[in-house]
Amino acid sequence: MLGVCVQKTRSACCFSSLLGRVVQEQGRAQLGIGWGDVKNPECRGFTPTELTTMDWSLFDLSEFYASINPTPLDQGQATTGVANKQPACYYGQGKC
């Protein structure tokens, strides 16, 4: 069994919000901070000095903006969808 991989491992950093992940990914790239490796992941936050060193004008927050500003609902589709929807049947077998 020498030289044979019997188990693969991986690690990941988890963030409590989409904005947190986006800032971490892009901020780390600007500052040259890595993510560590599988055995020693580096998931720390930024220091106050690092936060002031980043060029915030370079951040692409489009993914975050899209999550808080969804595409407006098309009123025509909404009205048609409601009109074509069959009434709910609670008696089973699809027969009311």
pLDDT value for 28? 96
pLDDT value for 47? 97
Per-residue pLDDT of 28-38, as tens digits, reads 999 999 999 88
Strand partners, 41: 36
Q: Does residue 33 contact residue 42 with C-beta atoms inside 8 Å?
A: yes
pLDDT value for 80? 61
Give the whole-angstrom CA distance, residue 68 versus residue 47: 27
pLDDT value for 84? 58
Per-residue pLDDT of 52-92, as tens digits, reads 999 999 999 999 998 887 777 666 666 665 555 555 444 44
Check residues 47 and 76 and name the one with the higher pLDDT.
47
Q: Name which of 38, 10, 13, 9 is nearest 27 in CA terms.
A: 13
Give the whole-angstrom CA distance, residue 15 versus residue 58: 21
On the CB side of 22, how many CA atoms lie within 13 Å of its CA?
14
